[in-house]
Amino acid sequence: RRVHGDLTLTFKSVSAVMDASSFAILPLVYFANQVDFKIGDRLLILRTVYCMVTLAIVAVLLYIRRRIASEPDGPMIRVPLTDSEKLFLSDERKADTHDELCQRDYDLKQWNELFKGTLLPAGISLAIHFYWGPTIPLVIQAVTVPMRIAKAELVRVFLQGEVIKRPFPVAPGMLDALKEKLNLDTAATKKKKDSKKRK
């Protein structure tokens, strides 16, 4: 049972941080290794497709940015502060764990994170490709980024018309899952010690 529980927790931890785009990486790497992009115009076609996909994503994100800016302020939202945000708090707010933003400002903040999180990997992939020549980063980014963007909350709200409560849910990472496991193990150990003392 102990081993089964550990395996179940490990699987849940991996599943929490891996979506369909993550599972698509291995087949994409295999496909990229099977294609000789030095033949004919294959490399030019790959670069063109990659640039078109990136520009299309940027256009979609800029449209969503425009939609957000045209929205009213909306209700106030209590947003948990991240560890990096806490570092820049003033002395008067050192004890704060949350921030309050109107819905439009919250959406703009989420958009900035999504935009930077999209352009940065795109720029890194291009730099790696042009400096060292590998094509695998372009293939992976051209497929996985649209899949990830399609699942983003802002895209689902402003393009698909879904109603998602703010603040958006944050998927737990593997470190969070491991921390939870350690807390559970500590609680179980303490419970066993308490039961032994009672006996």
Question: For residue range 21-57, what is the model confidence (pLDDT) as tens digits?
Answer: 667 788 888 888 899 999 999 999 999 999 999 999 9
**pLDDT score of 192:** 67
Distance, CA of 11 to CA of 40 (rounded, Å): 43
Which H/E stretch holds residue 130?
A: helix 103-132
Q: Are strands 76-80 and 98-102 parallel, antiparallel or unpaired?
A: antiparallel
Q: What is the pTM of this model?
A: 0.73
Residues ≥6 apart with Cβ < 8 Å to 68: 104, 107, 108, 111, 154, 158
* CB of 64 closer than 8 Å to CB of 159: yes
Task: Please state, in angstroms and rounded to a whole number, the distance separating the CA atoms of residues 124 and 144.
Answer: 15
Where the chain has pLDDT below 50, the residues are 1-18, 173-176
Task: Check: CB of residue 152 under 8 Å from CB of residue 114.
Answer: yes
